[in-house]
Structure 1
Amino acid sequence: MDITPETSPLIDRLQGEEYDVTEPLPGVLHVRGRFSNPERIALRAAADAGDLAVAVWATSHHDDWALVAWSRPDLVTITQKGATPQRWRHRTLPATLRPDAQTFLEGASSPFDIVTRPKHQPTQAARDLLERFGIADAPPPGWVPPVVEAPVVRESTVAAAKPKRVAAPRAPKAPAKPAKPEPVVAVCPTCFMAIPATGICDNCG
């Protein structure tokens, strides 16, 4: 591994923290270790470089990574966690701020951000800065994107409930027919015999 004299003190400092450090390109470091926030590691390394233009990859033991490219006043940060899309952020820092300012370590937005539409997309100036370091692609050397498996669709073992049978409404019963009145038989008041249809009693005339 070739180490440039300018980055040698920075590499010694990072290795003192038990990180694995390489220099794949002149002025470009790759830091690996057991840390959960690679962006913080890369930002702190860039700040420790002082006024030296440097780019730092940091790759965590979970294979998440961040790339910080620093050349005052430009600070470019690219992060990727798992299979999520890359998040680019380009800031122009005043002379009073370092890359490890607390607001940057927290990943928060700041008045120094160059806002893109849509958000977190690379500016041309950010790409130009990476090219100055000889970086053609943002991911660290040897990094392989995680394979995202499609969710397995399993058939349900619960039998579908049978729909309840709904009885058809019954037709209303027809009203009962009224009973026929019994015929009234006329009776002769004298002999109490039935009077024929002529209305004249056969016995009494």
Structure 2
Amino acid sequence: MAPDQIEDPLADATDALRTEGYTVQRPLDAVLLVEGKFLNPERIALRAAGEAGDAAMGAWAISRENDWTLVAWSRPDLVTITQRGTAPARWRHRRIPPAMRPDAQTFLEGGASPHDIVTTPKHRPTDAAREVLTQLGIESPEPPGWVPPPPPPVPVVTAPPVKAVRVRAPRAPKPAVVRKPEPVTNVCPRCFMAIPATGICDNCG
């Protein structure tokens, strides 16, 4: 085959994605940049890698929510890097068997698989994953021209209103009750009978 007739390994992926209405660019020789109204960029990037067969390639996919995924594929290494919102990018490195494609259903669903290379802490890049990006000429996992979303606003904490405390006025003291003195009765010292107002005992005279 003549040099000018060498088949482009990314042609099928480019045609399939454009047929679905997505914008496809080629910022690097072996890397695609896909943008569209999809919500799951990881599925789109994995599908692009699957269309490339065993050819080493990369695919960025940017969703309508400005989330993105980079898939770097060089058999048997499958590297996915996903950024959602303002959260840190999550790296995942898999080594898949010869009969499995990057767009296998288990990978499209995003769950863990026995082919994952587990890192501590989780979702950190391995040296081999970085090497795959270097082989493809990718210097940074972020898509070219991608602008990160602004940080979320800091919530303003409003203090609850202070309830006014009702202060009751002291009650006026009740006036003291003045009791009338009981009348004093004069008693006769002899018979101990009450002496009338005349002052003379009726019994003793």
Post-superposition Cα deviations, 1:28-77, rounded to whole Å, max 9, x if no partner, equal: 11111221111000101111111111111111222211100111111100
Query: Secondary structure, in 3 states, of the residue corresponding to 1:129?
Result: helix
The gaps in structure 1 that reach 5 residues or longer are 194-203
Give distance in 1, aligned partners of 2:185 and 2:194: 14
Cα distance change, pair 189–40 in 1 and its aligned pair in 2 (3 A): same
Cα offset for 1:112? 1.3
Is the 1:88–1:121 Cα contact (8 Å) retained in structure 2? yes
Give distance in 1, aligned partners of 2:162 and 2:157: 19
Cα distance change, pair 189–31 in 1 and its aligned pair in 2 (3 A): closer
Give distance in 1, aligned partners of 2:193 and 2:126: 132
Question: Which of 63, 73, 83 is 2:76 aligned to?
Answer: 73
Cα distance change, pair 192–121 in 1 and its aligned pair in 2 (3 A): closer
Give distance in 1, aligned partners of 2:193 and 2:52: 147
Q: Does 1:102 align with 2:97?
A: no
Is the 2:43–2:108 Cα contact (8 Å) retained in structure 1? yes
1:53 is matched with 56
Tell me the amino acid that sits aligned with residue 42 of structure 1. Answer: A
Q: Does 1:11 align with 2:9?
A: no
Query: Secondary structure, in 3 states, of the residue corresponding to 2:27?
Result: strand
Give distance in 1, aligned partners of 2:139 and 2:66: 20
Q: Does 1:141 align with 2:144?
A: yes
Cα offset for 1:84? 1.9
Give distance in 1, aligned partners of 2:33 and 2:56: 15
Give distance in 1, aligned partners of 2:142 and 2:7: 22
Give distance in 2, aligned partners of 1:78 and 1:169: 74
1:201 is matched with none
Cα distance change, pair 111–181 in 1 and its aligned pair in 2 (3 A): farther
- The alignment covers a number of residue pairs equal to 193
Is the 2:12–2:51 Cα contact (8 Å) retained in structure 1? no
TM-score by length of 1: 0.76
Is the 1:4–1:27 Cα contact (8 Å) retained in structure 2? no
1:189 is matched with 191
Cα offset for 1:102? 1.7
Tell me the amino acid that sits aligned with residue 47 of structure 1. Answer: G
Tell me the amino acid that sits aligned with residue 191 of structure 2. Answer: P
1:200 is matched with none
Q: Identify which range, 90-99 or 126-135, moves more after superposition.
A: 90-99
1:85 is matched with 88
The CA RMSD measured in Å over matched residues stands at 3.7
Post-superposition Cα deviations, 1:165-194, rounded to whole Å, max 9, x if no partner, equal: 355999xx9xx9xx999888652139987x
Q: Identify which range, 121-130 or 147-156, moves more after superposition.
A: 147-156
Give distance in 1, aligned partners of 2:193 and 2:183: 23
Give distance in 1, aligned partners of 2:34 and 2:193: 139
Percent of paired sites with the same residue: 53
Give distance in 1, aligned partners of 2:192 and 2:107: 132
1:199 is matched with none
Q: Does 1:42 align with 2:45?
A: yes
Cα offset for 1:111? 1.5
